């Protein structure tokens, strides 16, 4: 497909403007926007919910299907990484422990 270069530049500029506006939305007002208490309490859980929404399907699914076998390196790496996090509360160590369990199983055993 051949698109007009001017049209492509206009689309890129428009998408850039929308992205900047939405990301800077909370920084534009001169004073803090008042939020109701229920919304403020609910927003405390937003990062955890977003993280779970990204990570859980990645752990339990392969090619859009639920993992059909227990021989999946991810299923063993998650409990080890979680245990380390609960013990030490360190993100870097959690990643290292998870990868130390995952890589030998995935590369070495082909899980």
SS3 label, residue 91: helix
The per-residue pLDDT for 79 is 94
- pTM assigned to the model: 0.60
E-strand ranges in 1-111 read 61-62, 65-66
Closest residue by Cα to residue 106 from 64, 68, 85, 77: 77
pLDDT band at 33 (very low <50, low <70, confident <90, very high): confident
Angle between helices 46-60 and 73-88 in degrees, nearest 10: 150
Contact 94, 81 (CB under 8 A): yes
The per-residue pLDDT for 63 is 86
Rounded Cα distance, 100 and 107, in Å: 11
The per-residue pLDDT for 48 is 85
Mean pLDDT of 64-84: 91
The per-residue pLDDT for 70 is 85
SS3 label, residue 62: strand
Rounded Cα distance, 107 and 109, in Å: 6
């Amino acid at each position: 497909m051949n698109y007009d270069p001017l049209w492509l530049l206009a689309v890129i500029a428009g998408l850039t403007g929308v992205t900047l506006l939405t990301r800077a939305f909370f920084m534009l007002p001169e004073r803090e926007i008042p939020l109701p208490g229920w919304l403020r309490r609910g927003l405390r859980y937003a990062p955890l919910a977003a993280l779970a929404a990204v990570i859980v399907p990645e752990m339990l699914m392969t090619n859009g299907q639920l993992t059909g076998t227990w021989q999946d390196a991810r299923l063993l790496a998650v409990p080890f990484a979680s245990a380390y996090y609960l013990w030490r509360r360190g993100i870097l160590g959690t990643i290292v422990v998870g990868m130390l369990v995952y890589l030998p199983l995935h590369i070495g055993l082909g899980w």
